[in-house]
Amino acid sequence: MAIGKHLVIGSGALGATGLCGTSVYLYSFREDTLETRVKNYFRDKKHMVVLDSSLREEWAKFKELYSYSKGEKPKGIDKDQIAKWCEDKLASRDGDSFELVKKWCVINKRSLKEEALTSDRKFIPTSESDANEQWKRAWTSYNTTKGDLDIKDSVFNSASKNAAETGGPALKKWCEDKSTQFMYEYLGEDRGYEKYYAWCTVD
């Protein structure tokens, strides 16, 4: 961001008096690296973590998510190059790359369950006396309204057998398995968290 877009002061004025007190407030990232900018951007969201070389396990999982994602990516950068791209960009002051750095060099470290807990939705119970019936109803709701949020998992689809009696337990198992996975993981299909949120929680 160019400082001149926000303030124009004659060189004589600067030479004679400088900038002092609180008379002038400059909001400029000119001197900040992208890493500093990104950390400032997410400073109130402790679950958002800038990826660095020490997070090897997280990188291994995140690269798969990056590979399968269909959103805008750095041009010409594949999953084996994204870590180096982030390292270079985070150390730079390339303001044009800020949005892509926010998207591909920062991860949400919450599990799917932890993320869903931040909403007003409730989880379908697993141990109450009528839990099985609730899961059957959840599967029926899924089966009749799934639209483009249909679950592609072959194990789930094979177990559900297109019937509430078997679909309820199959959906419960799918939800339990997904709940411990992380937001930065590839969940085996597109829109994984949206599906988890839609079918594993209720109003």
Give the 3-state secondary structure of the chain: CCHHHCCCCCHHHHHHHCCCCCCCCCCCCCCCCHHHHHHHHCCCCCCEEECCCCCHHHHHHHHHHHHHCCCCCCCCCCCCCHHHHHHHHHCCCCHHHHHHHHHHCEEECCEHHHHHCCCCCEECCCCCCCHHHHHHHHHHHHHHHCHHHCCCCHHHHHHHCCCHHHHHHHHHHHHHHHHCCECCCCCCCCCHHHHHHHHHEEC
Q: What is the pLDDT of residue 181?
A: 98
pLDDT value, residue 108: 98
**Which pLDDT does position 25 carry in this prediction?**
37
- pLDDT given for residue 139 in this prediction: 98
Q: Which residues of the chain have pLDDT under 50?
A: 1-29
pLDDT value for 129: 86
Task: Please report the pLDDT score of residue 176 as a whole number.
Answer: 97
**pLDDT given at position 17:** 42
**Contact (Cβ atoms closer than 8 angstroms) between residue 116 and residue 197:** yes
